[in-house]
Amino acid sequence: MHTEDFFPKAYEPLTVQDRLYKQWLEQKIFHANAHSSKPAFSIVMPPPNITGVLTLGHVLNNTIQDILSRKARMEGKEVLWLPGLDHAGLATQVAVQKYLLKTKKIDPRTLSKEEFLKIVWEWKENHSQKILEQLQKLGCSADWQRTRFTLDAAYSQAVANAFIRLYQKGLIYRGKRMINWCPASQTALSDEEVIPKKIDGVLYFVRYRLFDDPSVSLTVATTRPETIPADSALAVHPDDSRYKQFIGKFCLRPFPKEPIPIIADRRVDPQFGTGVLKITPAHDKLDFEIGIEHNLPIRDILTAEAKLNCPEVAELHGLDRFEARKKAAELLSSLGLLESEQPYSHVVGFSERAEVAIEPRISEQWFLKYPKTKEALEVVKQKIISFFPSYWEKVYEHWIKNIQDWCISRQVWWGHPIPVWWKNGSFVCQLESPGEGWKPDPDTLDTWFSSWLWAYETMDVETRKKFYPTEVLVTGPDIIFLWVARMVIAGLEFKPSQTEDLQQNIPFRKVYFTGLIRDKQGRKMSKSLGNSPDPIELINKYGADGLRFGLLRIAPQGQDIRFDESQIEEGRNFCNKLWNACRFRNRLGQTNPHPNPWIHPKSSFSHEILKKVGQTSSLLNEAFDSFELNQAAITLYEFVWNEFCSKFIEAMKWELAFDCKETHLGAYETFDYTMSIILRWLHPFVPFVTEELWQKMGFGRSSIQLEKWPGEELQNILKKPLYDPVASSTASAIYEAAAAVRTLRSLYCPNLNQKVKFFIKKEKELTDLEKAVFSGLIGASSVLSIDVRPLVKTPAVLTPLGEIFLPLEGLVNFELEKQRIDKELTRLKKDLLLLEKRLSDEQTLSKAPKEKIEGWKEEKNSLTLKIKKLEEQRDFLSDRTNR
């Protein structure tokens, strides 16, 4: 077959991906056998929400899982990568409500529960398939036959059984407590679902007059004057000398006017505001605690929608909380009680899903007192579960030690029903209705109450026996409390292994925390900012392999990532580099599917690349052992692009052009051997291009993912060693010298196609083949050996082969070159002057982002270096002209 037909000039991923993925599915390569005798390796996919489409965060997370799964298969393990989807109760309900309002012009509040849930199930069917297809486009090798959904019938029953079991143990209870309330979603939230955000607000200084002497007042600093009608007391620190004489007295609440006590409490911060705190037990968690301890009345003046419910103050009644805040300030001012206002930045909790400020609210909810917290702490401390990076262990430990009871009920329709039945104010906890007249609890369970069972309830008994505990969980640190810690607790509490062995009940042995993907300016990606690219568009543009490899190269373990599309383009370019390397070999003839370079005479260049194979193997093993997958990708990029393509292949071209063919077969075998290693190394990272090349190169008839991962045999290259160290050292010296000479000639004759004469005052002897290859690498017409330096001043560079000179006679027109350099220097100095002016302008610097200023500084350093080199070059030419 013609090379152009068999091997197109460039890798065309869109013609390859769907075809190969279909083959993999047909061959059932991803399907795990629970009865296999192979050692098990398992991962449960963090289930994407059914609220939308794939994000770059999903791409990074699932690429890492796929790398680990594919590598494990090649290591001879029975791999289960179990996929699934999360119903995401509150998030999905909010998304569907927005969809109905925006697209269908339907107010969700006009729908019955049954009508609304029918629409959500339709949404689920449409979106779940789309998400799974997108993961397949990425190349994910999950066991799709085992795909689970958190509202599957069997899974739902398991969630209900967990609730009943915990209730029967006295760990789940119903109580009236201060909770986080989302006015937009009309539901309770756990502490972990509340995101602290810094906002710019106002601090209002309000006078509270003494009841028995209105001429005296205490000033309170508050951010929420709209809650004054709910005040039950003022509080001061008992040791604050400013206010000791007022403790036990009464002051007048501004509105509705009523005497309230002045109390002492050590939880008051004397340094905040004036040191006087207004106590509003119904609308602040600390105030609630103080109110309970001091037996203060609780006045709830906010509705579920966060509107004022205070008929006694007509001016505020019925207003939204933020409108009421402004109105309350006006009212205080009119009463002469508003002393002052000050701008004030402070932290406010926001609903993670609805993105509105939450309200502390007293509400009757279902709570869980966490079991097994001591054991959950110990399994991480003792490294039974290891975190990567390890510093997240401290964060985990802090949360476990300060754990609060979990509010597990939600006032949403879409979710797991609470297995509780009510009649005449009484309830029973069981799966089925007790009979006539009993009504189900109207609430549903927090989504995370189902997700914490994900590691084992997704598996049937046989699968669990083989694959539980799982090997690793790949997730983001933002859900270390919401999910990771709770899964550990669930595994220890429910004992999925049906034994008391703690090590068999943990949900996973390792946790890999990814970083957050941000844009080039460091901002979190979001649709509203327009900085969140569509991964499918990136796949269509650069290929799935380009997206995977480009993203992973910039994703250090646990660190945030600055995304730049050019990095994905680099990923595609890398795949093309690999493709063209194989295309070059294909033009030379058939490859050997079982290459053995050690039985043939080899050049120093073959010895050098074999040594590099051994060294790269060691670096990859270290990277995988420490879960530094980003470093593994960088190592592979460096080896393939620089060592193999830029050095070995370029040397091989000149070696094959040399008259003596003694080492030619060794070069072919070395290429084939190294490429078979490269493709297997790279397969977990870039599965499509490596599969296609594996077949085209004839290395095997079956899929590359069923081939053996390069292992101990590569370590023998360095241990025995299986290469000639002296020959390898010579090749390394030639490569280093060639790079130095190319840099030198780029200053005077950048066109490598123009053959140039060189002189060498040599220090290292080379064979005729090595001389020929070196000459080819530097574009030399000849390299003449000399014993003394040239009499005429000549550009030179010191290399491991000796000092190499570039004679300029007949190569450079000195006057024209000086004119060119002068023109370039004028331009560069003008640019430098503008940069220096910008960097010395305080007004400009005060407004510019930090990243931009750093960019200007780097540009200044680069320009300064270029100017210095050009000035040195011009001085050299001037010396030659003046001779």
For the annotated binding site, the residues are 527
Structure tokens belonging to residue 420: 């509780």
Between the alpha carbon of residue 713 and those of residues 217, 648, 685, 710, 722, the distances in Å are 85, 21, 22, 7, 10
Between the alpha carbon of residue 118 and those of residues 89, 95, 96, 353, 659, the distances in Å are 14, 15, 11, 22, 78
> Taking a C-beta distance cutoff of 8 angstroms, is the pair 557, 388 a contact?
yes
Please give the Cα distance from 226 to 634 (Å, whole number).
Answer: 57
* CA 140 from centre of chain: 17
Per DSSP, helices labelled H in 588-643 are 604-625, 629-637
Exposed / middle / buried, residue 64 (Cβ in 10 Å: 0-12, 13-18, 19+): buried
Residue that the structure tokens 């810690």 belong to: 485
Q: Long-range contacts for 285-294 (Cβ within 8 Å, ≥24 apart)?
A: 285/178, 285/360, 288/178, 288/360, 288/362, 290/235, 290/263, 290/265, 291/232, 291/233, 293/265, 294/233, 294/263, 294/265
Task: Give the chain's length.
Answer: 883
Residue that the structure tokens 């000791």 belong to: 244
> Taking a C-beta distance cutoff of 8 angstroms, is the pair 355, 205 a contact?
no
> Taking a C-beta distance cutoff of 8 angstroms, is the pair 235, 388 a contact?
no
Q: What is the DSSP string of 2-36?
A: -HHHHS-SS--GGGTHHHHHHHHHHHTTT---TT-
> Taking a C-beta distance cutoff of 8 angstroms, is the pair 676, 644 a contact?
no
* CA 204 from centre of chain: 41
Please give the Cα distance from 840 to 860 (Å, whole number).
Answer: 12
> Taking a C-beta distance cutoff of 8 angstroms, is the pair 253, 260 a contact?
yes
- Coil, helix or strand for 101? helix
Please give the Cα distance from 540 to 801 (Å, whole number).
Answer: 47
Q: Long-range contacts for 339-344 (Cβ within 8 Å, ≥24 apart)?
A: 339/205, 339/206, 339/207, 339/219, 340/205, 341/202, 341/203, 341/204, 341/205, 342/202, 342/203, 342/205, 343/200, 343/201, 343/202, 343/203, 344/200, 344/201, 344/202, 344/203, 344/223
- Coil, helix or strand for 553? helix
3-state secondary structure 200-241: EEEEEEEEEEECCCCCCEEEEEECCHHHHHHCCEEEECCCCC
Binding residues for ATP: 527
Q: What is the DSSP string of 648-710?
A: IIHHHHHHHHSS--TTHHHHHHHHHHHHHHHHHHHTTTSHHHHHHHHHHTTS-SS-GGGSPPP
Between the alpha carbon of residue 287 and those of residues 278, 548, 801, the distances in Å are 8, 50, 79
